[in-house]
């Protein structure tokens, strides 16, 4: 399509600018919305990770203090040194409910090396004599210093400390261990941050049958098949769909990984996860963080719509002003010249174009006026010559 | 009288009958025909191309077949 009028061409160009400008603003706003969402997710992950570390340190300190107090009890030490299980149980069992109420769910005594078997489980006294063969067992036997860290058992993940027990002669008679299920940490995290959490365990480190058995014991649904690479050990949200991750937990970066947004009706959530390592440094799981950003997202969208409206209005007003100025300073003056030129040729020699402008159109107006004067003079001379003839 | 002059008279007649702006109508026709109507007199010699162009200009501006 070919347009003769410059006005139409300019109008089309300005409308294109309006559309492009609006499109750019929309894209820019979308970009900032996504970036803000990512920032919120990153902040949620980073904050939760720091809080998790603080909680771990606090609980390790608590369990260390408990073990220190226990080691001051000579009756307990003697009973353990004598490997008198009944007496040790009688002495320690009354203490266990109180420790359990403090979150210490696991309490074990281990024989010394080389056997290193479980001598007594306060949380399951009927079961003993088994060998756990974990990193922290080997490490405490190697160093005879207290060792702490996360240990993933076949059906659960716990923060544990293990320390040597000495008899009155300073000989190691075995080891005592305290542990807290990591699952309870997510509830503490939720109460402090308001975010939702899920504790994910890499299936490579969990025994499927044991998971099924423990699920039956704890009367929870066996969720082994819900996800390909991990099982959800515990979560604070009732929504199963919100905890989704298709990657390998072992590849989650140290500082965490931000996942895509999740929408549920009008609610918007950002999600992230950070790795959880065991005492040996293996990434055996991850903490899934879910933050409800519905209120923030709604505000962002509202701001986006306002900005979009302001942009469209501003550009429209700008276009109107440009067209008005072009019309006044160029197009109307060009039309006046065209009209004067036409009338001049038609015999109206009196229509002057007066201007005091020196702009481009003004120069044309002055040029036309000079041309008009010359034209009128030439016509007069020709007429005079014809009359003379 | 020449055909060109007859056409000029026709134009003047139409302008007068229609109450049209004489300078503007004459100017438009002159620009389209490529000649000044003032210079057309009864003795102006006809040339076929000039006559055809003037007729076309009259048709374009006054919408009449001369």
Grade residue B39 by pLDDT with cuts at 50, 70 and 90.
confident
- Which chain B residue shows the shortest CA-CA distance from A344? B27
Mutation for testing the B interface, residue in A346, A379, A386 having most B CBs under 10 Å: A346
Contacts of A351 in chain B (CB under 8 A): 23
| pLDDT (tens digit per residue) in A292-313 | 999 999 998 899 899 999 999 9
Among A38, A33, A32, which Cα is nearest to A272's? A38
Residues of A whose CB is below 8 A from B22: 346-347
pLDDT of residue A154: 58
Q: Are the C-beta atoms of residues A287 and A276 closer than 8 Å to each other?
A: yes
Q: Which residue of B has its CA nearest to A349?
A: B23
> Considering only CA atoms, which of A61, A248, A305 is closest in space to residue A161?
A61
In this structure, of A79-83, A166-170, A244-248, A355-359, the range with the lowest mean pLDDT score is A166-170
Tell me what ipTM this predicted complex has: 0.91
- Chain B residues in contact with A379 (beta carbon < 8 A): 38
Q: Grade residue A155 by pLDDT with cuts at 50, 70 and 90.
A: low
Nearest to B22 among A339, A346, A382 (CB): A346
Inform me whether the pLDDT recorded for A3 exceeds 70.
Answer: no
Q: How far apart are CA A312 and CA A160, in angstroms?
A: 61
Instruction: Tell me if A342 and B36 make a contact (CB, 8 A cut-off).
Output: no
Beta strand A118-121 with A106-111 is antiparallel
Distance CA A204, CA A47 (A): 28
Q: In the predicted model, is pLDDT for residue B23 greater than 90? A: yes
The class (CATH top level) of A184-292 is: alpha beta
- Cβ of B22 within 8 Å of Cβ of A342? The answer is no
- How far is Cα A179 from Cα A158, in angstroms, rounded to an integer? 6
Does the domain at A57-181 match CATH 3.40.50.300? Answer given as no
Please name which of A103, A110, A34 lies closest in space to residue A66, comparing C-alpha atoms.
Answer: A103
A86: enclosing H helix or E strand: helix A85-92
Q: H or E segment at A67?
A: helix A6-71
For residue B37, the distance in angstroms to the closest alpha carbon of chain A comes to: 8
CA A354 to chain B, closest CA, distance in angstroms equals 19
**Beta carbons of B27 and A379 less than 8 Å apart:** no
Beta bridge partners of A138: none
What mean pLDDT, rounded, does chain A reach? 90
Please give the Cα distance from B51 to B62 (Å, whole number).
16
DSSP three-state, residue A128: coil
Q: What is the pLDDT of residue A221?
A: 87
Angle at A216 between CA A215 and CA A221, to 5 degrees: 55
Answer yes or no: are the C-beta atoms of B36 and A345 closer than 8 Å. yes
Percent of chain A whose pLDDT exceeds 90:
63
Tell me, what's the pLDDT at A94? 95
**Count of domains forming chain B:** 1
Contacts of A335 (CB under 8 A, 6+ apart): none
Task: Determine which of A347, A368, A383 to mutate to test the interface with B (most B C-beta atoms within 10 Å).
Answer: A347
In terms of residue numbers, what domain contains B52? 3-62
Strands (E), chain A: 106-111, 118-121, 147-152, 157-166, 172-181, 196-202, 230-235, 257-264, 267-277, 283-292
pLDDT digits (tens, 9 = 90+) for A68-122: 999 889 999 999 999 999 999 999 999 999 999 999 999 999 999 888 999 999 9
**Chain A contact for B57 (CB, 8 A cutoff):** no
The alpha-carbon gap from A341 to the nearest alpha carbon of chain B, in Å, equals 8
Kindly state whether B23 is in contact with chain A, defined as any CB-CB distance less than 8 angstroms: yes
Mean pLDDT to the nearest integer, A337-346: 94
Beta-carbon neighbour count of residue A342 at 10 Å?
Answer: 21
Q: How far apart are CA A213 and CA A354, in angstroms?
A: 102
Beta bridge partners of A234: A199
Give the best residue of B11, B23, B25 to mutate against chain A (max A CB count within 10 A).
B23
Q: What is the spatial order of strands in the sheet that A157-166 belongs to?
A: A118-121, A106-111, A172-181, A157-166, A147-152
């Amino acid at each position: 399509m070919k347009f003769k009028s410059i006005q139409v061409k300019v109008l089309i160009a300005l409308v294109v600018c309006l559309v492009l400008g609006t499109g750019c603003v929309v894209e820019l706003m979308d970009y900032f919305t996504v970036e803000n969402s990512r920032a919120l997710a990153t902040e949620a992950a980073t904050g939760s990770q720091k809080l998790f570390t603080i909680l771990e340190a606090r609980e390790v300190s608590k369990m260390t203090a408990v073990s220190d107090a226990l080691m001051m009890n000579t009756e307990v030490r003697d009973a353990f040194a004598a490997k008198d299980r009944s007496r040790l149980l009688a002495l320690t069992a009354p203490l266990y409910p109180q420790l359990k109420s403090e979150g210490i769910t696991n309490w074990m005594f281990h024989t010394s090396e080389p056997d290193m078997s479980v001598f007594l489980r306060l949380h399951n006294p009927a079961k003993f004599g088994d060998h756990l063969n974990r990193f922290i067992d080997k490490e405490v036997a190697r160093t005879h210093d207290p060792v702490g860290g996360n240990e993933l058992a076949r059906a659960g993940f716990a923060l544990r400390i293990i320390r040597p027990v000495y008899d009155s002669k300073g000989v190691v008679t075995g080891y005592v261990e305290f542990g807290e299920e990591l699952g309870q940490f997510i509830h503490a995290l939720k109460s402090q941050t308001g975010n939702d959490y899920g504790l994910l365990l890499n299936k490579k480190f969990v025994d499927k049958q044991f998971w099924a058995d423990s699920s039956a014991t704890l009367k929870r649904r066996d969720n082994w098949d819900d996800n390909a690479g991990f099982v959800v050990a515990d979560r604070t949200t009732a929504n199963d769909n919100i905890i989704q991750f298709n990657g390998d937990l072992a590849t989650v970066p140290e500082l965490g990984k931000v996942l895509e947004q999740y929408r549920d009706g009008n609610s918007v959530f950002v999600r992230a996860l950070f790795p959880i390592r065991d005492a040996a440094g293996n990434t055996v799981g991850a903490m899934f963080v879910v933050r409800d950003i519905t209120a923030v997202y709604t505000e962002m969208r509202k701001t986006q719509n306002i900005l979009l409206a302001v942009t469209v209005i501003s550009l429209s007003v700008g276009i109107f002003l440009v067209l008005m100025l072009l019309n006044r300073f160029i197009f109307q003056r060009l039309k006046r010249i065209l009209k004067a030129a036409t009338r001049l040729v038609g015999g109206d020699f009196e229509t002057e174009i007066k201007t005091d402008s020196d702009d481009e159109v003004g120069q044309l107006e002055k040029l036309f006026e000079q041309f008009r004067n010359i034209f009128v003079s030439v016509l007069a001379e020709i007429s005079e010559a014809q009359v003379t003839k | 009288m020449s055909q060109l002059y007859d056409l000029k008279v026709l134009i003047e007649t139409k302008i007068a009958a229609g109450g049209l702006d004489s300078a503007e109508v004459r100017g438009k026709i002159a620009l389209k025909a490529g000649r000044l109507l003032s210079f057309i007199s009864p003795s102006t010699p006809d040339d076929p191309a000039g006559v055809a162009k003037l007729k076309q200009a009259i048709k374009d501006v006054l919408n009449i077949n001369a």
